Amino acid sequence: MTTILPTPAAWPRPLLGDSPGGNPPSGDARLADPADLDAAVRAGAFAGLTRALRDLGATLTTATIAESGLRGRGGAGFPAAQKWRAVAATPGGAATPGGLRYAVANGYEADPAGATNRHLMTQRPYAVVEGLAIAALSVGAEEAILAVRAEYADAVAVLELAVSAAEEAGYVGEDVLGSGRALRMTVRPVQGAYMLGEETVLLKALEGRRGQPEQRPPYPSERGLWGRPTLVHNVATLAAIPWIVVHGSDAYRAIGDPDAPGTLLVQVTGAVASPGIVEVPTGTPLSEILGLAGGVAGGRTLKALLVGGPSGGLLPADLATTPYTFGALRAVGAHVGSGSVVVADDRTCVVDLARLLTRYCADEACGKTIPCRIGLRRMSEIGERFASGLARPTDRGLLADLGADIVGSALCDHERLATGPLATAMRYFGSEIDAHLSGVCPAGVCAPAGVVAAGTAHGG
């Protein structure tokens, strides 16, 4: 079970704290049975749904989310209420009087180093169910689907129990809290590769179709599942909604970075003393997050932080002051992504790491668009050449050109993001790239390069 790292007592914790919104006590305390509805309700679960339905109604609930400044936690940081309004404004067809719309919780969690979504789904299932119910009812959806990575059998099981208990108690179902509004909620395990987390691929998987990203517009908010307007949110976005509805938009807006308020769950892994998940206000410096995880393990020094998953940015130690928030990370070539921060100590070869990540991203690309399919493969090959002592003097320039071409032709954002590891390696660790160009791996990781440095001539 993933460790939850302690944070200063004064820090608000809408996702993992002890206030209404479906969250059990603070610290690493967990409900004995996270699917126990009575215990969750005693801790505040469904107070947000009750308020949204009985006191606020759809328009005011949406206004509350807009004023809170909540941005999507699935990676791009898109303002949540903007999507809600787009879904609500799009006619849903003639199937029901208001038309048919869908709301989908993206619980795929594509990042292999991520476990924050899994934690929420297994330990805070009612916050996710309640957030999805509030969002769905606010946009006029009558069908809500929790799409969960099939390998997360624990999350699937807990959410199935939670949804059926919520239905029995009238929080979802044919007549939600006696309002006359219907909301059918189901859990759908989904299985696939990395790209399945991308929303248009996820929706196709739910339709039982082969998954490749779609050109946008139209966005899923206009034409999504089965061609109907569909709201897609990451589970962490949804889990914050009950807290916002109960505490109000001002309380949420007061937390963290004013441009992207609230908290983020960060999964800190790699060479740290205490790996785990930590809930931080947006804008918390990376160095502080590293400190909460006990610092670099074994008295070693920090070499790089991989921020944003396999397509993240490799940031040097002197950029550890960067605030952990959407805009600031993007400015330095990283991104929030799935919320993972991987710590690399001084023994790491950044060139080798960037090579591995680029290869992963190239292997996972679906192949639909040529700049991504061919360009990432070429970038990956150049990375392999650096790490094997076979790089050519022109490879640095070629890498930069390829990166620029790929970024300019994005269809689904994977290609833009996937250039990140090598682009940041070149930007911040240029001397290591140069060393590899002359056949030397300063960290001694790329063994063949070392061999070349010992005297073997290699191609130019």
Residues in region 110-129 near ligand FMN by CB under 6 A? 110
The CA distances from residue 92 to 15, 171, 187, 200, 210, in Å, are 32, 24, 22, 18, 24
Residues 188-227 that bind ligand FMN (CB under 6 A): 195, 197-199
Is 414 among the residues that bind ligand FMN (CB under 6 A)? Answer: yes
Residue 86's contacts (CB-CB under 8 Å, 6 or more residues apart) are: 219, 221, 222, 229
Q: In Å, what is the CA distance from 412 to each residue of 201, 220, 265, 320?
A: 10, 13, 24, 29
CA angle at 135 for the pair 260 and 169, rounded to the nearest 5°:
130
- How is residue 130 written in tokens? 């309640």
Q: Does residue 413 belong to the site contacting ligand FMN (CB under 6 A)?
A: yes
Q: What is the DSSP letter of 93?
A: -
223, exposed or middle or buried, with CB in 10 Å at 0-12, 13-18, 19+? middle
Among ligand SF4, ligand FMN, none, the one that 199 touches (CB under a kind-dependent 5 to 8 A) is ligand FMN
Between 69 and 197, CB nearer to ligand SF4: 197
**H/E segment holding residue 280:** strand 276-281
Task: Kindly state whether residue 257 participates in binding ligand FMN, applying the rule CB under 6 A.
Answer: no
415 binds, among ligand FMN, ligand SF4, none (CB under 5 to 8 A by kind): ligand SF4
Residue 34 touches which member of ligand FMN, ligand SF4, none, C-beta under 5-8 Å by kind: none
Helix (H) or strand (E) holding 405: helix 395-407
What SS3 class is residue 303?
A: strand
Using CB distances below 5 to 8 A depending on partner kind, what does residue 369 bind out of ligand SF4, ligand FMN, none? ligand SF4
CB 415 to ligand SF4: min, Å: 4
Candidates 2, 78, 285, 400: give the one binding ligand FMN (CB under 6 A): 78
Binding ligand FMN by CB under 6 A: which of 24, 72, 211, 275?
Answer: 72
Work out what residue 5 binds among ligand SF4, ligand FMN, none; the CB cut-off runs from 5 to 8 Å by kind. Answer: none
| Residue whose tokens read 């990956």 | 380
Residue 30: burial class (beta carbons within 10 Å; 0-12, 13-18, 19+): middle
Q: Taking the CA atoms of the chain, what radius of gyration do you get in angstroms?
A: 23
Q: Please, which residues have CB within 8 angstroms of residue 455's CB and are 6 or more apart in sequence?
A: none
Interatomic CA distance for residues 189 and 152, integer angstroms:
8
Indicate which single residue of 50, 123, 230, 237 sits in contact with ligand FMN (rule: CB under 6 A).
237
Closest to ligand FMN by CB, 202 vs 268, is 202
Site string for ligand FMN, 22-61 (x = CB under 6 A): ----------------------------------------
Total residues contacting ligand FMN by CB under 6 A comes to: 21
Q: Does 108 bind ligand FMN (CB under 6 A)?
A: yes
Footprint on this chain of ligand FMN (rule: CB under 6 A):
72-76, 78, 106, 108-110, 195, 197-199, 232-234, 237, 412-414
